[in-house]
Structure 1
């Protein structure tokens, strides 16, 4: 690995390796399907731990022999999440070559069996009935179901099937559909000619979410659990999520709270600037994320983007330049906001672009997004969007320097501003956040009169 694992990650890796080896051995002896449940909270580095596990399986370690013929399949519910996971493995696992990681696409994939020594990435959309991968045709002799079935039957002693339930991009009905497809690999699917996978490694952020996934299976379950306290002690998670909302109904409270959010973002700028200068660290460059409403028949967003940008610039005393403001709307086109050219930017690349200061988005940022630099967020959404907001917050609790800041407490917080929420609807967000990301995420809530 090109990165040094934290002690808690090394411990999780050891437990995962042991339980995976035991699961494979149990399947060989009994032919009973095995599930290794890996539960770890947001921010714990699950993908990095899994990358280290794959290296250990393929190339061996001090306790286990190499298994170069191993086949690993990674299933998630989103193409972008798959790409993000693949990029992390390609970038951090130096023993695994780029040619060993393969994204299964419906244009060209047609194999009787999966190749040994490879890691395949597959998403649930590719397994729907409308997908070309599930159909025979002039250019496809084997459907993906047949490929997986054949591989499980003939190479069960070297097949590891990973279900990434921890990073969910889908919500609502789409999430339910994705869960149903994921369960086919745990329970089997007679209509697709599929038996349960021999060994499944299920990644999840909470025990409850994993229990929902494995409900009704007859598999033997091996559990590996990472606690939030272990992760927080490492400095990888923020200390607090501070949620600010109006206690009283106010006229035009959204722009007043946007001003307060801008003040918080500028304060973060000054504090990070001072800290990085004094400690001789590379500058963090915190990002301000603004969640706006969906499109109408006339406009790209019901929120007045021109007024929002004008308010932020006026309050910050700063005129943005081209490239400093981007959007992540589903309409992937360059737009004009208050005379500024604002281009679309892939969410997964935002954190690494040091020029970006302000991001407008609707719902898409919660999918495939890791941005520790995003420490201030304002949302124009209403209370019915509590789950979207909670899912996004779960992506913002990571610390940008992968450590706790001892000399400035304010740099250990992430701030969320919600003009259209009140105390009871804010509590809905907290419940949704704890349900999706782990029950012990620290949340400090207070009202702020504007």
Structure 2
């Protein structure tokens, strides 16, 4: 299996987790750390919601990742971060909870498979043992002492009535060794059986977990707090809880969402197929025929690409049939299968049925090495009634056909999740192969589109504002009825009638589109009427004049009353921003360009000097505080108020120090371990070894610091040395950056080129917060010239006013369009690389075309007067980018509402 390459958003999720863990130790409590971390990451600090039944300051957070985003890999990758940055220990116990037994078996197989990316991610935590709950009931002390142990269990296993849960509390001789030589503080924390003199301490798995303070990973967490008795988990004294879900609870028992990935980010990183192209058809046989035609067209494109060298792809149709009901004729799986074979001549071998009775998927998995994705597998149609087998995954699924009008929410959500995944997680040359398709038996397109969007929000984890543009009509005539897509304005159509229609004879869906004003004898149509709805309405009046008037007004409602508004992105406009590139020498000796997106690519010879290998005063203070924690000392009292700030982490570090006894290494072995656990690829091992040995020797020369103490605090020492090396490397990079980009011969080293240009892709704009006109704290403005339908929220009133000014100029024709640039959303953000981070200009504007050539790009950054001085680096890199572009790019930084500074660049 090829090495797994994480996507940019996945790396950013892990960076957020690491930042939170570090902040938990740097700030007074994990709750304060959560607010501070979200403020730094997203510009808005979020309130911390403690988990009911747990200590109020226990680290508890949620990662929100939509369907197809790789939640399980992120969870596996996070284990090393838990050990290193939260627990600061070599090993840990991870209690990994999943929603069902099929998912448990699938997760166990993947985590144990040494070739699987999940196992590879886990191995970053060092020696790993993966087991199920039954195996954990006889886990040895040696296993927990020498490896990070991952116990995979269902959430239901910890419900009070579950037999498996009761066994967790039963005494077992196999666990007796775990309770040898315990300190009094440890024994005091164990669960007891019986009362008074009869009280005993069971050798139970529950007590082993209480000793080891497990970190809890809750996969697919959106239902966990209703299905799972969380107070049972609290009895194991977890060191923290991390939830991963597409749809976190944000209202009843709100999750602490630390990092939220958007569907647009997944689309930008080629993880999912969007948009979903929807087509409704009332005749079920025609609907099925249309889906077959679409599948055949996709298959033809896939074959053409394969002949050109692309990977194998066989588009598959998932058909949701109606369940059988006694005495009622339904579109059940047998009727659909007969239709495919008889009227469409689909070979029986290309069709499988996956229901509670028929196990077609299981047979395919058994017969073919790669399952349904195997090139030898002929299957093109999968018929189901409710939901497919849990854990079944097939990116070849492209088309959802629903015979049930999207009424069965759960199964539709699951089937949608199947068709969204992009094969190979990479875009195809032909755009139709980068989209998903839904064919639904229905007469009402608008209602169906709305229901499909609801399913994407409720099941796939999409944001409500995203789904308006992620479900589009396959046919233009149906798009006219989709008033919820955000880009349609409908003007009500009044019609005078000599008689009142019989509203009692109308179905609700039609009545909702009508309003009768008796004093004026006027019927007002407030939404487009289909031809079928028009006929139904006409049948409720008697006079020919009324029938004719309704026909005329209904025709207007479907045509001239509808005004389509399309954004530049939807109209197919391209918005490409040239980027900074370095001139480098290629392997052939010729000069070539390389995107400048990481200062580490600069040539900066550096090495660590043992002269700098000295613990600082701050380092010594941190180790002193850490020692008090491990000894159970009080370091959590605020000097000003005298109040206890937080006890959770000090007590956790004390407990872990008691249970995980450090090995008695000598100085050489300890230095070797530190070198091995310092990830710094730009340094040679010998250089690291010399630096670490000198730093450690300097530390051990101190009277108050023994080798035993260094063993005890080796993870903290590792973090301190890593921070020191990182700071020194930043200094070296900063010097190289200044010389390369701002030296006398900078133009010979750096260029702004169309070879590397950031392309603002349709449906790849993913704000962490949206500007919502009706509710914005900054005010209302009808933005008409933004590149996308969505607009990222603003950071200040002045920034909002700058956007209003830009949009006004665009409406006057002085700009073509503009975009609110986003921060840390790499699939939808333009940036300029600095020595110590990235600069994301607030606004990017496309100026009008001249002489049939694209106009220049204008980058605008608004800075409050209080931040003007600190923005010198941003002004320098923005000015360099503009100067090297040969007139194609312009840059201006504005303060104090000096719109005239922007005006100078519009000419």
Q: Do both proteins adopt the same fold according to a TM-score greater than 0.5, normalized to the shorter chain?
A: yes
What is the distance in 2 between the residues matched to 1:85 and 1:231? Answer: 22
Match among 418, 430, 438 for residue 462 of structure 2: 438
1:330-409 correspondence runs (5 A): 330-333=356-359, 351-354=372-375, 355=377, 356-365=379-388, 367-405=390-428, 407-409=429-431
What is the distance in 2 between the residues matched to 1:303 and 1:37? Answer: 41
Residue 103 of structure 2: SS of its match in structure 1? helix
Match among 217, 225, 232 for residue 162 of structure 1: 217
After superposing the two structures, state which structure 1 stretch, 19-28 or 9-18, moved more. 19-28
What is the distance in 2 between the residues matched to 1:365 and 1:311? Answer: 21
Mapped contact 1:286–1:357 kept (Cα < 8 A) = yes
What is the distance in 2 between the residues matched to 1:109 and 1:128? Answer: 17
**Cross-structure match for 1:210:** 249
Shift, 1:320, TM fit: 3.6
Mapped contact 2:270–2:427 kept (Cα < 8 A) = yes
What is the distance in 2 between the residues matched to 1:410 and 1:318? Answer: 23
Shift, 1:415, TM fit: 0.8
Residue 415 of structure 2: SS of its match in structure 1? helix
**Cross-structure match for 2:320:** 291
CA pair 413-137 structure 1, distance change in 2 beyond 3 A: closer
Mapped contact 1:47–1:88 kept (Cα < 8 A) = no
Runs ≥4 in structure 1, deviation > 6 angstroms? 27-31, 63-66, 137-140, 447-450
Mapped contact 2:95–2:215 kept (Cα < 8 A) = yes
Structure 1 runs not aligned, ≥5 long? 169-174, 335-341
Matched, 1:103 2:163: no
What is the distance in 1 between the residues matched to 2:454 and 2:336? Answer: 29
What is the distance in 2 between the residues matched to 1:95 and 1:387? Answer: 31
Mapped contact 1:244–1:445 kept (Cα < 8 A) = yes
What is the distance in 1 between the residues matched to 2:168 and 2:77? Answer: 38
Mapped contact 2:319–2:402 kept (Cα < 8 A) = yes
| Post-superposition CA distance 1:172-219 (Å, at most 9, x none) | xxx5xx53244x43xx35xx872763300011214xx2335744x9xx
Residue 422 of structure 2: SS of its match in structure 1? coil
**Cross-structure match for 1:78:** 100
Higher relative contact order (CA 8 A, sep 6+): 1
**Cross-structure match for 1:198:** 239
CA pair 193-239 structure 1, distance change in 2 beyond 3 A: closer
Residue 364 of structure 1: SS of its match in structure 2? coil
1:299-314 correspondence runs (5 A): 302-313=330-341
Residue 264 of structure 1: SS of its match in structure 2? helix
Shift, 1:54, TM fit: 2.5
1:258-297 correspondence runs (5 A): 258-278=288-308, 280-296=309-325
Mapped contact 1:372–1:400 kept (Cα < 8 A) = yes
What is the distance in 2 between the residues matched to 1:140 and 1:254? Answer: 60
Match among 233, 249, 256 for residue 286 of structure 2: 256
| Post-superposition CA distance 1:351-383 (Å, at most 9, x none) | 544413221212222732322110012122244
CA pair 64-75 structure 1, distance change in 2 beyond 3 A: closer
Mapped contact 2:395–2:419 kept (Cα < 8 A) = yes
Matched, 1:180 2:235: no
| Post-superposition CA distance 1:283-339 (Å, at most 9, x none) | 11121211122244599x953444423433456554243xx43332122557xxxxx
Shift, 1:237, TM fit: 1.7
Residue 135 of structure 1: SS of its match in structure 2? helix
1:127-142 correspondence runs (5 A): 127-136=158-167, 141=172
RMSD over equivalenced CA pairs, Å: 4.0
Shift, 1:13, TM fit: 1.7
What is the distance in 1 between the residues matched to 2:284 and 2:411? Answer: 19
Structure 2 runs not aligned, ≥5 long? 34-54, 174-189, 192-203, 479-531, 533-907
Shift, 1:102, TM fit: 1.6
Mapped contact 1:23–1:36 kept (Cα < 8 A) = no
| Higher Cα radius of gyration | 2
What is the distance in 1 between the residues matched to 2:121 and 2:449? Answer: 46
Residue 425 of structure 2: SS of its match in structure 1? coil
Matched residues, number: 403
Mapped contact 1:38–1:225 kept (Cα < 8 A) = yes
Shift, 1:103, TM fit: 2.4
Matched, 1:417 2:446: no
What is the distance in 1 between the residues matched to 2:372 and 2:272? Answer: 17
Mapped contact 2:400–2:437 kept (Cα < 8 A) = yes
Mapped contact 1:162–1:202 kept (Cα < 8 A) = yes
Question: Could you state the TM-score of these two structures normalised by the residue count of structure 2?
Answer: 0.40
What is the distance in 1 between the residues matched to 2:384 and 2:399? Answer: 14
Shift, 1:6, TM fit: 1.6
| Post-superposition CA distance 1:7-65 (Å, at most 9, x none) | 2212222222332454588569998212122112222222222222225556x6xx899
Residue 202 of structure 1: SS of its match in structure 2? strand
Shift, 1:96, TM fit: 4.5
CA pair 213-244 structure 1, distance change in 2 beyond 3 A: same
| Post-superposition CA distance 1:51-81 (Å, at most 9, x none) | 22225556x6xx8998442111111221222
What is the distance in 2 between the residues matched to 1:24 and 1:112? Answer: 31
What is the distance in 2 between the residues matched to 1:40 and 1:353? Answer: 28
Shift, 1:139, TM fit: 8.5
What is the distance in 2 between the residues matched to 1:94 and 1:350? Answer: 23
Match among 219, 227, 243 for residue 262 of structure 2: 227
What is the distance in 2 between the residues matched to 1:134 and 1:227? Answer: 36
**Cross-structure match for 2:152:** 121
Mapped contact 1:266–1:316 kept (Cα < 8 A) = no
Shift, 1:5, TM fit: 0.9
Mapped contact 2:21–2:86 kept (Cα < 8 A) = no
Shift, 1:393, TM fit: 0.8
Residue 257 of structure 1: SS of its match in structure 2? helix
Question: Could you state the TM-score of these two structures normalised by the residue count of structure 1?
Answer: 0.75
